């Protein structure tokens, strides 16, 4: 990818800088309390949770305690929680596991165009197995219409998968309504709640979800651990093969330190739910208000929908998003583009094109995602950096109207 080469070629900062991290939807730092909880399981308590001796028993007890904490976060019973290697595996296990468990000759899956690639690419892989998949469009504000789900149902629909909060826009999907439609139709319903955990109160019964994915590293636990809620009675076959771990749903020696960390992170998330999302919403609202008043030709993507507090996705017209990310990073502010890079070409984000942005506006969009450590001072410093970086990039942009060297554009 072009941008990586550019970053490498730049000289190192001579002075240490206070860096502001605004990319919590990509990953979060591990909470110190989570580190403290998991550390003993990397050193003294190293037993295999399947061993019958005391080392194993200690590990087993810790895994089961973590399972209770994760279950409590989503309103489930501990036996309904399957630990995985992360959100991607949880999504894959839910989708492939439920669809392959069905013996029907014809199978159909309904999902949306704004899902994470862990869902979209799992569905695409099912298409190669002969499964029919409907990828529903979304509104210009990034929300799936429940009526379109109902209209897409077929007699052979076996699964609906719609995320709870979108990772690029933060938009909250009408999951409760979709859950009702799924229940009425007798179709299994999966929701990817990776970006909702810790930001919204989660209750799988209220949501009507039969399956629900979580990821540790979006929740102040480490990378490489996650969980899938599987409602008791939901038919699911494993997607990998080995021992009898996780009640025959997911084989492999348990990642005890990771699982302990996820359990502790789930407890902290639950305890912080009463205050932290509201605090972060205040920061995000201040950021957007100030940004729109100080920077012209900017719009907040998905602003017309309910959104989780942490996420702000902004299109800065006439700017190439990757350049703005790099310019901001040099000023000590880390955020990201909505765009994913594939085989050298910068493809515009599938989420932003799904809400109707032109490829150019999609490439001009940046995602800012706030978290626990962020303060009002961070927001103000980020705004300063943003204002000057946008001004500079527009001065040199060949398509910006205020640039004397600019060329007329079709937009
Ligand atoms: C990050 C993310 C995932 C993938 O989780 P990993 O633990 O990184 O595999 C899945 N879905 C959403 C919405 C995400 O944001």
Q: Which atom of ligand 1 is nearest to the CA of 224?
A: 7
Distance of CA 356 from the midpoint of ligand 1 (Å): 23
List, for residues 377-392, the tens digit of each pLDDT value: 999 999 999 999 999 9
Mutate to test the pocket of ligand 1, among 86, 120, 221, 226 (most ligand atoms within 8 A of CB): 86
Mutate to test the pocket of ligand 1, among 194, 196, 216, 217 (most ligand atoms within 8 A of CB): 194
Q: What are all long-range contacts of 143-147, with beta carbons under 8 Å and residues at least 24 apart?
A: 143/171, 143/172, 143/173, 143/174, 143/305, 144/112, 144/114, 144/173, 144/174, 144/178, 146/174, 146/177, 146/178, 146/181
Percent of the chain with pLDDT over 90: 89
Distance of CA 88 from the midpoint of ligand 1 (Å): 6
List, for residues 84-133, the tens digit of each pLDDT value: 999 999 999 999 999 999 999 999 999 999 999 999 999 999 999 999 99
**Domains of the chain and any CATH numbers:** 2-25+274-406 (3.90.1150.10), 32-272 (3.40.640.10)
Confidence grade of residue 179 (pLDDT, cut at 50, 70, 90):
very high
Confidence grade of residue 264 (pLDDT, cut at 50, 70, 90):
very high
pLDDT greater than 50 at residue 411: no
Pocket lining for ligand 1, CB < 6 angstroms: 86-88, 91, 116, 118, 163, 167, 192, 194-195, 215, 217-218, 226
8 Å CB contact between 380 and 164: no
8 Å CB contact between 210 and 234: yes
DSSP code, position 228:
E
Q: Give the residue-averaged pLDDT of 249-270.
A: 97
Find the helix or strand (DSSP H, E) in which 226 lies.
Answer: strand 226-230
What is the overall mean pLDDT for the chain? 93
Confidence grade of residue 342 (pLDDT, cut at 50, 70, 90):
very low
Q: Tell me how far the alpha carbon of residue 119 is from its chain's centroid.
A: 11
Sheet holding 157-161, edge to edge: 81-84, 226-230, 211-215, 188-192, 157-161, 108-112, 132-136
Confidence grade of residue 357 (pLDDT, cut at 50, 70, 90):
very high
pLDDT at 410: 44
Where do the H-state alpha helices sit in 10-105? 32-38, 54-74, 87-101
List, for residues 285-331, the tens digit of each pLDDT value: 999 999 999 999 999 999 999 999 999 999 999 999 999 999 999 99
Half-sphere exposure of 222 (CA within 13 A, CB side): 17
Check if 341 is active-site: yes
Distance of CA 401 from the midpoint of ligand 1 (Å): 38
Q: Tell me how far the alpha carbon of residue 171 is from its chain's centroid.
A: 11
Strands (E), 301-409: 311-316, 333-334, 336-337, 340-342, 345-347, 365-369
Distance of CA 215 from the midpoint of ligand 1 (Å): 6
8 Å CB contact between 353 and 340: no
8 Å CB contact between 353 and 359: yes
Q: Which atom of ligand 1 is nearest to the CA of 225?
A: 7
List, for residues 2-47, the tens digit of each pLDDT value: 444 455 555 555 566 789 999 999 999 999 999 999 999 999 999 9
Nearest to 152 by CA among 163, 142, 144: 144
Percent of the chain with pLDDT over 70: 91
């Amino acid at each position: 990818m072009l941008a990586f080469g550019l970053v490498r070629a730049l000289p190192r900062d001579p002075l240490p800088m206070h860096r502001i991290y605004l990319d919590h939807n990509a990953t979060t730092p591990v909470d110190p309390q989570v580190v403290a909880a998991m550390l003993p399981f990397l050193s003294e308590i190293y037993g295999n949770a399947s061993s019958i001796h005391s080392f194993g028993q200690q590990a087993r007890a810790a895994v089961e305690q973590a399972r209770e904490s994760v279950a409590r976060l989503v309103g489930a019973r501990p036996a309904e929680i399957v630990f995985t290697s992360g959100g991607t595996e949880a999504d894959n296990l839910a989708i492939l596991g439920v669809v392959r468990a069905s013996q029907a000759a014809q199978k159909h899956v309904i999902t949306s165009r704004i899902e994470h690639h862990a869902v979209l690419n799992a569905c695409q892989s099912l298409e190669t197995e002969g499964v029919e998949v409907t990828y529903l469009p979304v509104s210009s504000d990034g929300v799936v219409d429940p009526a379109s789900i109902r209209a897409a149902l077929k007699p052979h629909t076996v699964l609906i998968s719609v995320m709870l909060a979108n990772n690029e826009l933060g938009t909250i999907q009408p999951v409760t309504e979709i859950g009702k439609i799924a229940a009425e139709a007798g179709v299994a319903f999966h929701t990817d709640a990776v970006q909702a955990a810790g930001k919204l109160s989660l209750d799988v019964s209220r949501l009507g979800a039969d399956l629900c994915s979580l990821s540790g590293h979006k929740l102040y636990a480490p990378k490489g651990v996650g969980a899938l809620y599987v409602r008791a009675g939901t038919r699911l076959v494993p997607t990998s093969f080995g021992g009898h771990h996780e009640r025959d749903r997911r084989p492999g020696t348990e990642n005890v330190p990771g699982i302990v960390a996820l359990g502790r992170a789930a407890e902290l998330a639950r305890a912080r739910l009463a205050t932290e999302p509201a605090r972060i919403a205040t920061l995000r609202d201040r950021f957007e208000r100030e940004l729109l008043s100080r920077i012209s030709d900017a719009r907040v993507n998905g602003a017309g929908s309910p959104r989780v507090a942490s996420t702000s996705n902004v299109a800065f017209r006439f700017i190439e998003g990757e350049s703005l990310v790099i310019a901001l990073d040099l000023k000590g502010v880390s955020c990201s583009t909505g765009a994913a890079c594939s085989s050298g070409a910068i493809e515009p984000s599938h989420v932003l094109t799904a809400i109707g942005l032109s490829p150019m506006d999609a490439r001009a969009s940046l995602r800012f995602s706030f978290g626990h450590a962020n303060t009002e001072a961070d927001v103000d410093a980020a705004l300063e950096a943003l204002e000057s970086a946008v001004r500079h990039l527009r001065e040199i942009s060949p398509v910006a109207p205020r640039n004397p060297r600019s060329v007329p554009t079709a937009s």
